[in-house]
Amino acid sequence: MTEHYDIVVIGGGIHGAGVAQAAACGGYSVLLLEQTALAAGTSSRSSKLIHGGLRYLEGHDYALVRESLQERAILLNIAPELVRLQPFHIPVYPDTSRRPLTIHAGLSLYALLGGLPETATAGV
């Protein structure tokens, strides 16, 4: 008997796996074809960091920060075994252009946009 699929995805890298997952969540039957192993190519060398848009904060692109944080929240919800929040540290050197108060204010805004308690930035 021949099986039928709504969608066939070729390539099990980050994009192929993401498309296959989104389609399956959308109720489609999906066949994912990969030549070797999932994430065996460039995906395996990725940092696997879901940054949540922090880098867009400095450019005042708050809509993009919020969108990135919403996408991160979706991933935390649908794939908690793959995605988890990680603390990060920002070094402040004597000659850095970002002073500690500026970093604290930015991370507080980031936490607010992401719905995190401000105590998440207490280590700054």
Q: For the segment 10-38, what is each residue's pLDDT rounded down to a tens digit?
A: 998 888 988 999 999 999 999 999 988 88
Q: Give me the sign of the Cα torsion angle 74, 76, 79, 85.
A: positive
Percentage of the chain with pLDDT > 90?
20
Taking the whole predicted model, whether its pTM rises above 0.75 is answered as: no
CB contact set of 38 (below 8 Å; sequence gap of 6+): 12, 17
d(CA 56, CA 72): 14
d(CA 108, CA 116): 9
